[in-house]
Chain A
Amino acid sequence: MEKQKANIDKTNEVIRLRGVEKSFADYDVLRGIDLDLYQGENLVVLGRSGTGKSVLIKLISGLLTPDAGTIEVLGKEVTNISERDLEELRIHIGFSFQNSALYDSMTVRKNLEFPLVRNRKGITRFEIDKNVAEVLEAVGLSQTINQMPSELSGGQRKRIGIARTLILNPEIMLYDEPTAGLDPITCIEINELINEVQQRYNTSSIIITHDLTCAKMTGDRVAMLLDGQFQRVGPFDEVFKTTDPRVTPFYDYNFIQ
C-alpha cells in the first residue's frame, strides 16, 4: 500500500500560502497558515474535524476569502483577482467535494458535460462525447453514463465527482475527504484512483482527510493541521515519528495500536 515515487518539480510551486488567517464569528479556524504545493505532488492535509481542513481548500478555490494573508494559485493571487480571472483560474482547479455534489437533476452524462459545454466555447458534439467517454473510462464507470446520481452507490458517486473535475484537464486537484463514508475496499479503490489521476493527468493535489490509510497511500507529503496551524509537515513516516499527544491518537486509532 506504499505510494510510488511521483515526479515532483520542487522548483515550481503551484500553490503558495503565506500567513493565511480565517475565522468564523469568534472562532479562529486558521491562524497564519504557510504552505507550498509543488508541481506533480500529492499533499495530504490531516487534522481533527472542525480544524479548518475544508476551509483551507475552499480558500484556495476562492469559495471563501481569507481574513489575512496571501494565496497564490498557478502564479495568481486568488484574494486579489477579478471575478473573470477567478473563473478562468478555476478551470485549472478540480474540486472533488466530500458528498460528491453531483447535480441531482442531471444524468451522469449531463453532469460531465455541464462544465465542458460552459467552458469550451465552440466544442463539437463529437468532442464532448469523446471527452465524456474518456473520463468515465478513467474512473472505470463507463456503464453508468445514462444513470441518475440517485441510482449510484457512494463510491460510484465519488468517482463520477472526480470524473467531472477531470473533464476540464485540471492542473490542480483538491479532494475533500475522498474516502469518507466508504467501505475499506472502495476506499482503497478511491486511493488508487487518486494516484492514477496524479500519474495520468500530471496533477498536483491537496487531499483533505483524517483517514491515515488514504494519507499513506496517496500522499507524497503529509501536513498535520493542529490548532489552526501546520505543526508537522513531511513524509508520512516522519510526521508520525513523534510522541506529541495531539498526533499519536491519529496513528493509534487508524492502525489499531
Chain B
Amino acid sequence: MDSVDTSLKPAPKRFTKTRGKLAEFFLMLHRIYAFILRFFKEVFLPPYEFKEIVKQCYETGVKSFTLITLTGFIVGVIFTKQSRPSLTNFGAESWLPSLVSIAIMKALAPLVTALIAAGKVGSSIGAELGSMRVTEQIDAMEVSGTKPFKFLVCTRVIATTITIPLLATYTAFIALLGGYLNVSQNEGTSYAIFMEQAFEPLTFIDFWASLIKALVFGFTIGIVGCYQGYNSTKGTEGVGKAANGAVVTAMFLVFIEEVLIVQMAGWFR
C-alpha cells in the first residue's frame, strides 16, 4: 500500500506555480547576496588589476561622456523651460535658478546618470560577460589558474562605482549650464547671479547625499550587470537575457535605492 496520505488534496496549480516562482525569487536573492559577499571577499586581495580597472573606467566613463553631456544638457533646458510657467503664475520666476539646482543636484543628476548608465554600461557588461560565459572564455580563465572573478567582476564593479559618481557630478554641472542658458535667454540673468541663487539653497548634506547615491547606483549597476552576465546560461538566448536582466534589474534597484537614500538623508537634516 502507498504510505502517502491521499486525503490531502494537491494545491491548485496556480498556487504551486506562484510558490515555485517565489522560491525561485528568494533563491535568486540568496545568489545575489553570495555574489556580493564574494566581491567584498576578493576585492581586497591581490592581484589588484589596476590596468584593467583603468581600462574599464575608460569603457564605462569616457565612452559614456557624449551621451551624458547631451542628456544632461537637455534635462537642464527642458526642466527649466517646463518649470517657468508654474512659477510665473505665482510671480516667482526669480526662484527658477534655486528650483532648477535643487531638482538637478538632489535628484535628477544622479538618477538620470544612473538610468543612462544602466542602459548603456549595465547592458554591455551583462552581454560581454554573458557571451564570455557561454563561449567558455570564463572557464578558460579558471582552468589556466587565473582568477576570472577578480579580473572580470571586481574590476568592472570598481570602475562603475568610481565613474558613475564622476559622471553624475558632470551631469549636474552640464544640466545647470543648460538651465542657465535658458534662464539667461528668457530672464537675462547673469551667470554669477544664476550660480549664486542656484547654490544658495543647497546644503553640505545635499552634496553628500547625492554623491553617496551615485556611488550606490554605480555599485548596483556594476554588480547587477556582472551577476547577470557571469551566471548566464543557455547560449545566445542567455546572453540576451543577461543584457536585458542587467538593465531591468539595475533600473528597478536604482529607483528603490533613490527612495531609501532620500529618506535616510532626511534624518540627518
Contacts and interface: CB of A to CB of B under 8 A. Distances in A.
Interface in A156-175: 164-165, 168
A101 interface: yes
Contacts of B136: 97-99, 101
A93 B146 contact: no
A98 B47 CA distance: 29
B145 A118 contact: yes
Interface string A26-43: 000000000000000000
Interface stretch (A83-91, A184-192, A219-227): A83-91
B66 interface: no
B139 A104 contact: no
B137 interface: yes
A118 B145 CA distance: 8
A73 to B, nearest CB: 12
Contacts of A93: 143
A8 to B, nearest CB: 24
B83 interface: no
Contacts of A164: 140, 144
Contact of B145 (A98, A99, A104, A115): A115
A118 B140 contact: no
A90 B137 contact: no
B145 A88 contact: yes
A91 B137 CA distance: 16
A62 B145 CA distance: 11
Interface residues of B, number: 15
B143 A61 contact: yes
Contact of B140 (A88, A95, A119): A95
A114 B144 contact: yes
B142 interface: yes
A45 B1 CA distance: 46
A119 B145 contact: yes
A62 B146 CA distance: 14
Interface string B92-117: 00000000000000000000000000
Interface in A90-137: 90-91, 93, 95, 97-99, 101-104, 114-115, 118-119
A116 to B, nearest CB: 9
Interface in B138-154: 139-147
Interface string A215-253: 000000000000000000000000000000000000000
A25 interface: no
Interface of B: 47, 131-132, 135-137, 139-147
6 contacts: A63-B139, A101-B135, A101-B139, A115-B145, A118-B47, A118-B145
The 9 closest A-B pairs by CB, nearest first: A115-B144, A101-B140, A101-B136, A95-B143, A118-B146, A91-B145, A90-B145, A97-B136, A61-B143
Interface of A: 58, 61-63, 87-88, 90-91, 93, 95, 97-99, 101-104, 114-115, 118-119, 164-165, 168
